[in-house]
Amino acid sequence: MNPAPFEVKADRLDGGLRAIFVSGELDMNTAPQLERELDEALAEPTASVLIDLCECEFIDSTGIALIVRSWQRLDRDAGGEGRGRLVLCSHNHQVRRLLQITGVESQISMHERREDALDELRESVSS
């Protein structure tokens, strides 16, 4: 069984929100593609960013470290440089389990449904 090809898509949503969709395997070989999109999104210190991992089949320590660094740069609640917000969503059991084991899920807000994650971002923008 071959993994799905890796792909990152970024989209600007209403209200200044950014969504970054990750599909396939996020590892040391593919993380630079996600990093480019995140760097662009995080160039705005008040950015509100959703990283959608619903189609992500696997994530390694490189991908996790990239997500954590991005969260630290941006998230106002984490004492980061910015005044923005980063939220994750994934319903993939394997990805969620790894994020739980590493403690990421206890630090970065994570939802199973994309709409729930977007609702949280919209709420943080309006407050």
pLDDT in tens, 69-86: 999 888 755 565 557 889
Q: Rounded to an integer, what distance in angstroms lies between the CA atom of residue 10 and that of residue 60?
A: 21
Cβ neighbourhood burial of 17 (10 Å; 0-12, 13-18, 19+): buried
Q: What is the reported pTM?
A: 0.91
At residue 44, the pLDDT reads: 80
Q: Is the pLDDT of residue 55 over 80?
A: yes
Structural domains in the chain plus CATH codes:
7-126 (3.30.750.24)
